[in-house]
Structure 1
Amino acid sequence: MLYELRIYHVNPGKMQLLHERFRDHVTDLFLKHGMKITHYWEDINELNNRLYYVVEHANMESRNLNYERFRNDPEWLEVRRISELDGPFLKDQESIFMQNVAFSRTN
């Protein structure tokens, strides 16, 4: 299993809107495209304005294919277009790829 930690650096005033977009649309769209989000976190220091979440993937190849399908999904394109009429939610995004180690309790 491949785990992708995604870190979103959110533009000021957009965090609640981003929460709503994930809650109302993105989580279901990810599932539709074979991606399971295991958990969401928000930076404890509100000044950092970061959202974190982990996505499970079978491997890097399936990750790339699933994201390709997601990014081209007409429903996603419309959700993003409408939700960002007043400007983009993110100023930057990072991905960190991880795998379990032999002594991990989740193996």
Structure 2
Amino acid sequence: MLYEMRIYDVTPGKMEAIIQRFDKHVVALFDKHGMTIKHFWVDADDANNRLYYVVEHPDMETRNGNYERFRSDPEWIEAKRLSELNGPLTQKQESIFMQDAAFFKSN
């Protein structure tokens, strides 16, 4: 498996708006396009204004195809447009790709 940690630097004052967009649209759209979200976090230090989540993918090729379909989905395009009428919700987005370490077995 390939795990993608996505880190969003949220525009000041927009944390609730991005959380609502994920809750009402993105989670279901990811599922529709074959992407499994493993967990979400909000930075414990409010000053950092960051949202984190991990998506599980079978491999990079599948990940890329799923994101391509997601980004071109009319429902996503409209949800993004409406949620950003008052400006972008994020200032920066970063992805870190990870694989299981062979020595570690989770319970």
Could you say what the CA RMSD is over the residues aligned between the two structures, in angstroms? 1.1
Seq. identity, %: 63
Which residue in 2 is equivalent to 1:27? 27
Matching residue of 2:41: 41
Task: State the AA in 1 paired with 2:28.
Answer: D
- 2:71 aligned residue: 71
- Counterparts of residues 60-99 of structure 1 (less than 5 Å): 60-99=60-99
TM-score (norm 2): 0.97
* Count of aligned positions: 107
Displacement of 1:102 after TM fit? 1.1
Letter paired with 1:8: Y
Q: What amino acid sits opposite 2:65 in the alignment?
A: L
Q: Does 1:58 align with 2:58?
A: yes
| Structure 2 Cα separation of the partners of residues 71 and 81 of structure 1 | 12
Partner of 1:17: 17
- Give 1:101 deviation, angstroms: 1.0
- CA deviations on 1:25-54 (whole Å, 9 max, x unpaired) are 100000100101000001111010000000
What is the CA–CA distance in structure 2 between the aligned matches of 1:67 and 1:52, rounded to whole Å?
17
Mapped to 2, the partners of 1:14 and 1:40 lie a distance apart of 17
The one-letter code sitting in structure 2 at the alignment partner of 1:90 is: T
Gaps of 5+ in 2: none
Where structure 1 has 5 or more consecutive residues not aligned to the other structure, the ranges are none
* Alpha-carbon distance, 1:106 to partner: 3.9
